[in-house]
Structure 1
Amino acid sequence: MTSDKPVTTQTFVYLLAVYIIWGSTYLGMKVATETVPAFFLSSVRFFLAGLLLLAIGGLKEKTLPNREQLRNAIFVGTLLIGIGNTTVAVAVHYMPSGLVALLVAAMPAWFMVLDWAFFSRNKPGTLTLLGIAVGFIGLFLLFNPFGNQHVESFPLWPVLIVIFGNICWAIGSLLVQRFSMPTQITSTAIQMLAGAVFALVVSLIAEHDQVQQFLGMSHRGWFAYLYLVLIGSLVGYTSYSWLARNAPPRLTSTYAYINPVVALLLGWAIGHESITPMVAIASAIVVGGVVLMTLGKK
Structure 2
Amino acid sequence: MNLLEKRTGTISSKTILCLLAVYIIWGSTYLGMKIATKTVPPFLLSGLRFLLAGSLLLGVGLWREKIWPTRRQFLSACLVGVLLIGVGNTCVAVAVHYMPSGLVALLIAAMPAWFMGLDWAFFSRKRPSALTMVGIGLGFLGLFLLFNPFGAHDVRTFPLWPVGVVLIGSISWAVGSLSVPRLQMPTQIISTAIQMLAGCVLCFLISTVLEPGAWQTLPAMNLEGWTAYLYLVLFGSLVGYTSYSWLARNAPPRLTATYAYINPIVALVLGWAIGNESITPMLGVAAAIVIAGVVLMTMGKK
* TM-score between the two structures when normalised by the length of structure 2: 0.91
How far does residue 3 in structure 1 lie from its aligned partner after superposition? 3.0
Shift of 1:101: 0.5
Name 2:160's counterpart in structure 1.
156
Tell me what 1:23 maps to: 27
Q: Percent identity?
A: 68
**Per-residue CA distance 1:63-111 (angstroms, 9 max, x = gap):** 1111111111111111110000000000001100001001111111011
Query: Are residues 1:4 and 2:13 paired?
Result: no
Partner residue, 2:291: 287
Q: Distance in 2 between matches of 1:258 and 1:242?
A: 19
- Separation in 2 of the partners of 1:138 and 1:72? 36
Cα deviation, residue 215, structure 1:
2.9
Alpha-carbon spacing, 1:219–1:187, altered in 2? closer, same or farther (3 Å): same
Distance 1:252 1:177, change over 3 A: closer
Partners of 2:215 and 2:25 in 1: CA distance: 27
Number of the residue aligned with 2:273? 269
Normalising by structure 1, we get a TM-score of: 0.92
Matched AA of 1:138: G
Query: How big is the shift at 1:237?
Result: 3.3
Deviation, structure 1 residue 183: 1.0
C-alpha contact (below 8 Å) 1:102/1:286 kept by paired residues? yes
3-state SS in 1 of match to 2:262: helix
For 2:12 and 2:43, locate their aligned partners in 1 and report how far apart those are by CA, in whole Å: 41
Change (3 A) 1:112 1:249: closer
- Which of 234, 241, 263 is equivalent to 1:237? 241
CA distance in 2, matches of 1:6, 1:180: 24
User: Superposition RMSD on alpha carbons, in Å?
Assistant: 2.3
- Given that residues 73 and 187 in structure 1 are in contact (C-alpha distance below 8 angstroms), is that contact kept between their aligned partners in structure 2? yes
**Match for residue 213 of structure 1 among 213, 217, 220:** 217
| 2:103 corresponding residue in structure 1 | 99
Give the secondary structure class of the aligned counterpart of 2:88.
Answer: helix
- Which amino acid counterpart does residue 236 of structure 2 have in structure 1? G
Once the two structures are TM-superposed, the CA of residue 59 in structure 1 deviates from its matched residue by 1.5
Contact 2:188 2:246 in 1 (8 A): no
Deviation at 1:202, TM superposition (A): 0.3
1:255 CA drift (Å): 2.4
How many Å separate the matches in 1 of 2:289 and 2:228?
30
**Cα distance in 1 for residues equivalent to 2:64 and 2:37:** 34
Indicate yes or no: 2:189 matched with 1:181.
Answer: no
- The correspondence of residues 1-298 of structure 1 with structure 2, limited to 5 A, is 3-5=9-11, 15-149=19-153, 152-240=156-244, 254-298=258-302
Residue identity matched to 2:174:
A
Task: Please tell me whether the aligned partners of residues 106 and 290 of structure 2 are also in contact (alpha carbons under 8 angstroms).
Answer: yes
What residue ranges of structure 1 are gaps of 5+ in the alignment? none
**2:192 touches 2:245 (CA, 8 Å); kept in 1?**
no
**1:214-266 CA distances to partner (integer Å, 9 max, x unpaired)?**
23201110000000001111122345567779999977654221111000000
Letter in 1 for 2:23: Y
Does the CA contact (< 8 Å) of 1:6 and 1:247 recur in 2? no
Distance change in 2, residues 1:247/1:167 (3 Å): closer
- More deviation in 100-109 or 171-180? 171-180
Tell me how many residue pairs correspond in the alignment.
296
Does 112-121 or 136-145 show the bigger shift? 112-121
CA contact (8 A) 2:112 2:258 kept: no
